[in-house]
């Protein structure tokens, strides 16, 4: 499934497929665009077993929820520092998939050619119990994660 974000089409990738590609493609990367509060209190994907680190850059600043006007520059600098090429497959993750799609589109517009959105994000949609994390997304798929 592909979503249109801005002028760029971004491919949605299920969390388990993103995990498999992160394991098998040494040049791939995972960017978590949630807020510092979410990383601390909700958790982060754990890529230690595949020899990688999550690249954590806020798309929106907390607590005012404004899109960071320096997001593209910050992430481009970080990607360069860790050796991620502009043609590498880069997976973007947020809580449920909306912010990450917008962030992926921004980086695609900046010349990164293989930006992907992790469908359903880290926690996925609300379940029948009105809680996140059990229906879909990184956590629900049983993928490695750690608390803050």
- Give me the tens of pLDDT residue by residue for the chain, a chain 148 residues long: 344 445 678 999 999 999 999 999 999 999 999 999 999 999 999 999 999 999 999 999 877 889 999 999 999 999 999 999 999 999 999 998 899 999 999 999 999 999 999 999 999 888 888 888 778 899 999 999 998 6
Strands 8-13 and 114-118: parallel
Provide the residue range defining the domain that includes 129.
2-140
Query: Which CATH number fits the domain that encloses residue 35?
Result: 3.40.250.10
pTM: 0.91
145 domain-assigned: no
Q: Is residue 24 part of a domain?
A: yes
CA distances from 74 to 23, 33, 68, 116, 132 (A): 25, 12, 10, 18, 29
Number of independent structural domains in the chain: 1
> Within a domain: residue 130?
yes
């Amino acid at each position: 499934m592909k979503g249109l974000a801005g002028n760029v089409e971004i491919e949605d990738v299920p969390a388990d497929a993103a995990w498999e590609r992160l394991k098998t493609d040494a040049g791939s990367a995972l960017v978590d665009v949630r807020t510092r509060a979410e990383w601390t209190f909700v958790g982060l994907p754990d890529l230690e077993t595949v020899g990688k680190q999550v690249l954590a850059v806020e798309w929106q600043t907390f607590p005012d929820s404004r899109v960071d006007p320096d997001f593209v520059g910050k992430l481009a600098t970080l990607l360069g520092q860790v050796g991620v090429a502009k043609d590498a497959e880069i997976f973007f993750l947020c809580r449920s998939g909306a912010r990450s799609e917008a962030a992926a589109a921004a980086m695609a517009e900046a010349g990164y050619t293989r930006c992907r959105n992790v469908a359903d994000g880290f926690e996925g949609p609300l379940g029948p119990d009105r809680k996140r994390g059990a229906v879909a997304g990184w956590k629900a798929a049983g993928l490695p994660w750690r608390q803050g």
